[in-house]
């Protein structure tokens, strides 16, 4: 195997593929990165058996040549050293050549010799055979991920909650995540006909979506999503991202979302977010990061926090409107800030149904985003 490649392109691909490689794996060869060269270009592969990523660098694209002098072949290189080597090479181009299991990396006057492993021993990635595919714009998928994935559970007490529930329903694509203390949901209409698809609900590990979001570019180009019983594949022109799905049924959350409200607040998002952020400065000191919100007369919201050992903070902000009953409620400042950031609108509508019940945050004119937070009860 031999080829000469643009270092920047190689670096980007290496970094993408590294997202799937873990130094702790039960299959030793998976600590390495597979490099394959054929006449069309170079393919890099990384996998930790939960996530597998393939990144393809074409020989040439849009008239720009990325790879030259390709002699086909393949090898597996230690992922511990390869990325840093590529990063620190002196020239814009890199020559990679393998002789048996010996790999030589040249750039300018620098020359590395690395011991590789036989690519034949690298596990074959499963081929997905499914008709259940649809496409959405990449930037929209990134939004769906960003607005939900932060709410997955970080602890394994209920493993299914560490994933994001993806559902197809009435030509809507639904993402829901909850750690049981807060819930984030986003849906978008699908323009394709989904009636023929056999899957309706799967749970994608939150970690996979986080990594995917990091790799995907913010582009309107479509990404193809294919689903099988236990795997999901995201595919763009040069990227192939395969993740296992979580086993088990995702809890039915829709009936837990209150339908009526007793107090409704319309507020500018930024002012509210900043006020909560300020109050949480002291709340962080106590163990819970809890702030208190009181809905008062004259469209005033009072945000306060009290840490006995540090001090307290109180702030009143003017909001657009407060309808319904007076209310005092305490909640995690972090959950509230996460939710307000995910709303992506200047104005929010917050619906409360009582101090011991979940409340809902939505953009003022959009029902496709829903953030729900469970309050805390102070002893």
Partner 1 sequence: MSKWYPKNGRVIFHVDMNSFYASVEMAYNPKLKGKPVAIAGNPEERKGIIVTSSYEARAKGVKTTMPLWEARKLCPDLVVMRPNFDRYRFASSEMFKILSEVTTFVQPVSIDEGYMDITACQHLGSPLDIAASIQQRIKDELDLPCSIGIAPNKFLAKMASDMRKPMGITVLRKRDLPKKLWPLPVKEMHGVGEKTAIKLNKIDIYTIKDLADADTFQLKRLLGINGERLKDRANGIDSTPVDPDAIYEFKSIGNSQTLAHDTTDELTIQRLMRQLARKVATRLKRKQVVGQNVQLMIRYYDRKTVTRSVKLPEYIETEEEIYITSLDLFENHWTGDPIRLLGVTVQDIVEKDEIVHQLDLFTYQKEAEKEPLYQAIDHLTEKYGKNPFKKIEPKSDDQPRTSFQKDFLDDFKK
Total residues binding partner 1 (CB under 8 A): 30
Task: Figure out which of the listed residues 196, 260, 287, 297 binds partner 1, where binding follows CB under 8 A.
Answer: 287
3-state DSSP call for residue 4?
A: strand
Q: How far is the CB of 204 from partner 1 (least distance, A)?
A: 20
User: How far apart are alpha carbons 359 and 354 in whole angstroms?
Assistant: 8
User: How far apart are alpha carbons 18 and 52 in whole angstroms?
Assistant: 10
Q: How far is the CB of 278 from partner 1 (least distance, A)?
A: 20
Residue among 317, 333, 335, 330 at smallest CA distance from 285: 333
User: How far apart are alpha carbons 181 and 327 in whole angstroms?
Assistant: 20
**Binding of partner 1 by 324 (CB under 8 A):** no
User: How far apart are alpha carbons 370 and 257 in whole angstroms?
Assistant: 10
- Token output for 280: 């949480």
Contact segment (CB under 8 A) with partner 1 among 16-24, 123-131, 140-148, 370-378 equals 370-378
**Binding of partner 1 by 308 (CB under 8 A):** yes
The set of residues, in sequence order, having a beta carbon less than 8 Å from that of 143 and lying 6+ positions away, is: 186, 344
**Binding of partner 1 by 251 (CB under 8 A):** yes
C-alpha neighbours within 13 Å on the C-beta side of residue 359: 27
**Binding of partner 1 by 206 (CB under 8 A):** no
Contact segment (CB under 8 A) with partner 1 among 199-207, 223-231, 239-247, 368-376 equals 368-376
**Binding of partner 1 by 52 (CB under 8 A):** no
User: How far apart are alpha carbons 312 and 286 in whole angstroms?
Assistant: 11
**Binding of partner 1 by 312 (CB under 8 A):** no
**Binding of partner 1 by 358 (CB under 8 A):** yes
Task: Figure out which of the listed residues 23, 109, 120, 379 binds partner 1, where binding follows CB under 8 A.
Answer: 379
User: How far apart are alpha carbons 228 and 103 in whole angstroms?
Assistant: 37
Contact (Cβ atoms closer than 8 angstroms) between residue 175 and residue 166: yes
Contact segment (CB under 8 A) with partner 1 among 8-16, 34-42, 196-204, 351-359 equals 351-359
Question: How far from chain centre, in Å, is Cα 62?
Answer: 30
Kindly state the DSSP code that residue 117 receives in the 8-state scheme.
B
Q: How far is the CB of 308 from partner 1 (least distance, A)?
A: 7
Residue 351 pairs with which residues in a beta bridge?
Answer: 264, 360
Task: Figure out which of the listed residues 330, 334, 337, 340 binds partner 1, where binding follows CB under 8 A.
Answer: 330
Task: Figure out which of the listed residues 200, 247, 357, 366 binds partner 1, where binding follows CB under 8 A.
Answer: 357
Contact segment (CB under 8 A) with partner 1 among 54-62, 188-196, 206-214, 369-377 equals 369-377
**Binding of partner 1 by 249 (CB under 8 A):** no
Task: Figure out which of the listed residues 38, 93, 180, 222 binds partner 1, where binding follows CB under 8 A.
Answer: 180
Site string for partner 1, 2-31 (x = CB under 8 A): ------------------------------
**Binding of partner 1 by 332 (CB under 8 A):** yes
Q: Which DSSP helix (H) or strand (E) runs through 112?
A: strand 110-115
Residue among 355, 358, 225, 346 at smallest CA distance from 295: 355
The set of residues, in sequence order, having a beta carbon less than 8 Å from that of 339 and lying 6+ positions away, is: 182, 184, 361, 371, 373
Task: Figure out which of the listed residues 106, 181, 244, 262 binds partner 1, where binding follows CB under 8 A.
Answer: 181
**Binding of partner 1 by 303 (CB under 8 A):** no
3-state DSSP call for residue 193?
A: coil
R_g over Cα of the chain? 25
User: How far apart are alpha carbons 54 and 137 in whole angstroms?
Assistant: 20
Q: How far is the CB of 155 from partner 1 (least distance, A)?
A: 5
Site string for partner 1, 252-281 (x = CB under 8 A): -x--x-------------------------
The residues in 117-156 that bind partner 1, with binding defined as CB under 8 A, are: 155
**Binding of partner 1 by 355 (CB under 8 A):** yes
Instruction: Please count the residues of the chain.
Output: 379
Task: Figure out which of the listed residues 204, 290, 337, 369 binds partner 1, where binding follows CB under 8 A.
Answer: 290
Site of interaction with partner 1 (CB under 8 A): 155, 157, 178, 180-183, 251, 253, 256, 286-288, 290, 308, 328, 330, 332, 354-358, 372, 374-379
């Amino acid at each position: 195997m031999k080829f000469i490649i643009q270092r920047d392109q190689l670096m980007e691909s290496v970094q993408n593929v590294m997202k799937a490689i873990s130094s702790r794996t039960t299959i030793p060869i998976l600590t390495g990165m597979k490099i394959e060269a054929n006449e069309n270009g170079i393919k890099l592969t990384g996998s930790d058996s939960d996530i597998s990523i393939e990144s393809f660098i074409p020989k040439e694209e849009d008239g720009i040549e990325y790879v030259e002098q390709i002699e086909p072949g393949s090898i597996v290189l230690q992922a511990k050293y390869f990325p840093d080597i590529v990063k620190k090479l002196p020239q814009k181009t890199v020559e990679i050549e393998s002789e048996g299991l010996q790999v030589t990396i040249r750039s300018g006057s620098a020359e590395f010799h690395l011991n590789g492993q036989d690519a034949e021993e690298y596990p074959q990635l499963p081929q997905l055979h499914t008709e259940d595919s649809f496409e959405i714009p990449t930037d929209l998928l990134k939004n769906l991920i960003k607005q939900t994935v932060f709410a997955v559970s970080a602890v394994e007490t209920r493993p299914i909650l560490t994933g994001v529930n993806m559902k197809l329903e009435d030509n809507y694509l639904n993402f829901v995540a909850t750690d049981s203390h807060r819930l984030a949901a986003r849906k978008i209409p699908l323009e394709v006909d989904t009636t023929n698809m056999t899957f309706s609900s799967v749970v994608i590990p939150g970690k996979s979506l986080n990594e995917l979001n990091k790799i995907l570019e913010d582009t309107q180009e479509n990404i193809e999503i294919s689903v099988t019983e236990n795997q999901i594949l995201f595919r763009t022109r040069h990227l192939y991202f395969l993740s296992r799905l979580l086993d088990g049924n995702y809890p039915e959350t829709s009936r837990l979302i209150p339908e009526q409200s007793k107090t409704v607040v319309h507020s500018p998002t930024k002012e509210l977010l900043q006020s909560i952020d300020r109050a949480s400065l002291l709340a962080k000191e106590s163990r819970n990061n809890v702030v208190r919100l009181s809905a008062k007369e004259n469209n005033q919201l009072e945000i306060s926090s009290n840490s006995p050992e540090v001090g307290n903070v109180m702030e009143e902000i003017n909001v657009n409107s407060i309808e319904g009953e007076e209310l005092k409620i305490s909640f995690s400042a972090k959950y509230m800030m996460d939710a307000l950031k995910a709303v992506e609108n200047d104005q929010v509508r917050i619906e409360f149904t009582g101090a011991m019940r979940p409340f809902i945050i939505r953009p003022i004119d959009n029902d496709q985003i829903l953030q729900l937070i469970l309050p805390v009860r102070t002893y």
